[in-house]
Structure 1
Amino acid sequence: MKDNKMQIIKNESLSKVDEKFCELKKNKKLALMPFIMAGDPNIEITSEILLKLQENGADLIELGIPYSDPLADGPVIQVAASRALKAGTNLRRVITLLESLKGKLKIPIILFSYLNPLLCFGFEQFCEMASNAGVSGLIIPDLPLEEANEFSKKVSDHSMDLILLVAPTTPFERMKKISNNTKGFTYLVSVTGVTGERNKMESRLENLIAKLKRINSNPIAVGFGISTPEHVNRVREWGADGVIIGSAFVKRISSSSKKDVVDHVGEFCKDMRLAADQKK
């Protein structure tokens, strides 16, 4: 009886992101996490794309907040952010969009934003509004580890996870600190440099995944540069728990007409779902 009670307490403490990774692990599935830029090409089509991604096999979705001075984004995502800003997208409109999809979007939504827009908006107010809109997690790529604890507590107080990034060049001791302080999962950046499609995966990723697995039991999701079924297969074979695909989705949005964009993105998501589910 005591053990059952402890299990219930433990389960109640799980976040939505935790629950999703537990479900996927139980079913021996690789988490598929598309990234798209909110408001590209406009906020209405973003709404349709989010629902289509969910319908076609996405387990979680990373939704970018457009920003004029990105640090980690490559050309494809930078241009997408510019298009979204020109279309009038801002933080408040993104939250309003997610509020309108409550009850329709069942999978965890993770917002990706640089720190400055959140501070200008008011971080506490942002957390409250994002949580009320159904957001499950937050990624702030330019938030230093040394300041993460303060922000992580505020995010957790609103039932969301602050997810931290580990780069290939991160020293081992710092990697341990990041991995021990992230919530939901560890975001492993697959390459040095900015986002963007690559021709091949770096083999050192296998060792990085193994290192992170030794540090703790956090799920590990690999992002940056992943764009083909072969990349997805490789990430799964190396023991990661999830794969994040950004520029390849954003590129299909930019190259499609407004009439066809939702279907084109949906078909690509189906292809990546098949790759994620492919057995050895």
Structure 2
Amino acid sequence: MTSRVSAAIDAARAEGRGAFVGYLPIGYPDLQTSIEAAVTLAENGADILELGPPYSDPVMDGPVIQEATTAALAAGFKLRDTFTAVREITSRVDVPVLVMTYWNPVLQYGVDRFADDLAAAGGAGLITPDITPDAAGEWVAASTRTGLDRVFLAAPTSTDDRLEMIVRESTGFVYTVSTMGITGERAQLDAAARTLVARLREHGAAHACVGIGISNAEQVAGVLEYADGAIVGTALVRALRDGGLDGLAATAQAIAGGTKPRSL
């Protein structure tokens, strides 16, 4: 089964550019607005959507995203709202939708049930930041059965053996962590990301997208000199918070400008 996520990256590459992966939390500032925000993001340059169900213990999220997910939980977000959102978004745009979720909510919901409901809603797969492939046997089986993508994370501290396993078990792309620590904007992206992508290539990774700390078109362009895609989250959440859907659209367009070759 062809990965829609890989296909989106390949389609961007065929246009001579890298892919823009945009993250937003589901349910912020409310469920319907978060759906409109995701559609807005897809219509303003995002090649792949990464949607995060709010979680009460977001160990990897920086303050802007934590603030948004806390507000969504306070407003009554339930995990089943994930599938409602994905279903409506995928009925309106063709951009593949990945769900970025911590593992505990999937376990609580039921791994097979989660996979079935996500596939039925038109979702493309999961990004799972806090589970490694060797601990994810149930998810590997469920995703293989349903044709969903499995995006695992690789960090600069990962050993070669671990990178080999991550590349082997990931589909869609490998989520390449640019710096160790939480998400958020950084003035200078860690050079470790470039080295890590090179190591992933040595282990056979066809698609590597870099996330954590990327917030503007210039940083996107820098990452795309060596990676297949750039993942942006905090800057988009802040744009939605401060400027609503119009602010989000303008920020997404500006960031998407960084995916184009500099000669154009």
TM-score by length of 1: 0.90
Partner of residue 188, structure 1? 176
The 3-state SS of whatever aligns with 1:45 is helix
Shift of 1:215: 1.3
Residues 40 and 83 of structure 1 are in contact (CA less than 8 Å); yes or no, is this contact kept in structure 2?
Answer: yes
Q: Which one-letter code corresponds to 1:96 in the other structure?
A: T
Structure 2 portions without partners, runs of 5+:
none
* C-alpha distance after superposition, 1:219-264 (max 9, x if no partner): 0100000012221111012x100000011111222223xxxx0110
Counterpart secondary structure, 2:220: helix
- TM superposition shift of 1:197: 0.8
Task: Identify the residue that residue 239 of structure 2 maps to in structure 1.
Answer: 252
Compared CA separation, residues 102 and 209, structure 1 to 2 (3 A):
closer
CA distance in 1, matches of 2:22, 2:48: 7
Task: State yes or no: 1:40 paired with 2:23.
Answer: no
Are 2:61 and 1:73 aligned?
yes
C-alpha distance in structure 1 between counterparts of 2:210 and 2:90, whole Å: 28
Q: In the alignment, what sits opposite 1:153?
A: 141
Unaligned runs of 5+ in 1: 1-12
Determine if contact 1:152/1:161 at 8 Å carries over to the other structure: no
The SS at the match of 2:230 is strand
Shift of 1:26: 2.2
Does the Cα contact within 8 Å between 2:118 and 2:125 map onto a contact in 1? no
The CA deviation at 1:15 is: 1.6
Over 4 Å off, 4+ runs: none
Residue 136 in structure 1 maps to residue 124 in structure 2: yes
State which of 222, 229, 234 in structure 2 corresponds to 1:242: 229
Write the mapping of 1:1-280 to structure 2, written as runs, cut at 5 A.
13-237=1-225, 239-256=226-243, 261-279=244-262
State the alpha-carbon separation in 2 of the partners of residues 265 and 80 from structure 1: 14
- Aligned CA-pair RMSD: 1.4
SS in 2 for 1:170: coil
Larger radius of gyration: 1
SS in 1 for 2:51: strand
1:162, 1:183 within 8 Å by CA — same for their partners in 2? yes
The SS at the match of 2:80 is helix
| Corresponding pairs, count | 263
Alpha-carbon separation, structure 1, partners of 2:147 and 2:153: 20
Q: Report SS of the residue matched to 1:95.
A: helix
Structure 2 residue identity aligned to 1:211: R
- Offset of 1:212 from its aligned partner? 1.3
| % identical aligned pairs | 33
2:259 partner SS: helix
- Contact kept, 8 Å, 1:43 with 1:94, in 2: the verdict is no
**CA-CA distance at 1:32 after TM superposition:** 0.3
Contact 2:31 2:77 in 1 (8 A): yes
